[in-house]
Amino acid sequence: MLAGLHRLSGVDGRPADRPVPPAAGRTFSLPDLGEGLTEAELLEWKVEVGDPVAHDQVVAEVETAKSVVTLPSPFAGTVTALHCPAGEVVRVGAPLLSVAEPDNASGAVLTGYGTGASERWSPSHARQEGGVEASDARVAMRATAEKFLRAHRDTPSVTIWADVDATGLLAERASRGAGLLALLARACLTGLAEFPEFNSRVDSDRGEVVRLSRVHLGFAAQTPKGLVVPVVRDADRLPLDALAAELRRLTDLARQDALPVGHRTGGTFTLNNYGVFEVDGATPLLNHPQVAMLGVGRVTDRPWAVDGRVEVRKVVSLSLTFDHRVCDGGTAAGFLRHVVDAVGGGSVGGG
């Protein structure tokens, strides 16, 4: 009898057997993660049915089109049900897990989540606590915040850059009828064929760099709901005209908030045109788990030496941010030089 009591109480450091309650209580649904995101892939459950869970404890990890996000529970109690398996794509508002709360639970909801729709903090939510003035406002962090932190912490990234005379590239755009983005994308793709180090992944557990056989090109697209990164699948297999058409198609779908799931994730290299924001350069964080990103600044009129003369030319700054674990600076300079020469020569179209 004493042994039986020990099993029930969990004494001597042994966990007690946990009865699994029926699927009841409060249900935590996938919250609005912001920036126009409507769904996420459930990567991993951090809890199981029958587990006790504390308020604000991480219960799942999901991946959106922009980041990997950990989800804390807005309820405390015992997990009674997991409503979807790992690997499934879940829409915002769909149930994730149910929790049976203690009888004395207050039903408090985690900051930034609502009881149904998304709720964000405003000045009216602020209160005097821990030295925070009543007039201070609290707002939820962006959905990408955790990914940015991980990228900065875990990736030894380096950025190099060069200015290039893009006058010929602009002339090629006019003559071929292809957009500037498509021409820059083609220059990146030919560069990746020559320097495959930048189309790879780092397997930290095995201490290996995995070079990928296919190029899925991500590109930054500004939409009414914020920045989105559509992915052109097998971009390296597309001729210029088809590549330009696919870039236009995916940009339109992104602006309509209708981008298919298969074109939201899985990018292997990113082209980031921050010139649309009227800036010349940047040192962006890599889009984990990618190991490289080409940045493009604005095109401006600048004095430029041409055959010993100074002329006003269309000049653009190109930057390459890369994971220093995959190569040294000489290889990175070789890739950037390839793109610079293609742009400066005004002949990046290829097939």
Known catalytic residues? 324
Both structure tokens of 117:
């729709």
Both structure tokens of 247:
């870039």
Alpha-helix residue ranges (DSSP H) falling in the chain = 2-9, 145-154, 167-176, 180-194, 240-255, 329-345
- Map residue 285 onto helix, strand or coil: coil
CB neighbourhood size of 114 (10 A):
14
Report d(CA 154, CA 143) in Å as an integer: 18
Sheet arrangement for strand 52-53? 26-29, 95-100, 77-82, 52-53
Both structure tokens of 124:
């009216």
Report d(CA 220, CA 267) in Å as an integer: 11
Q: How far is CA 218 from CA 70, 268, 272, in A?
A: 23, 7, 8
Report d(CA 216, CA 227) in Å as an integer: 18
Nearest CA to 324 among 292, 281, 295, 296?
292
Torsion sign, CA atoms 196, 156, 72, 227? negative
DSSP state letter for 129:
B
Q: Decide: 287 and 271 in contact? Cβ < 8 Å.
A: no
Amino acid at 79: V
Nearest CA to 336 among 290, 294, 286, 299?
294
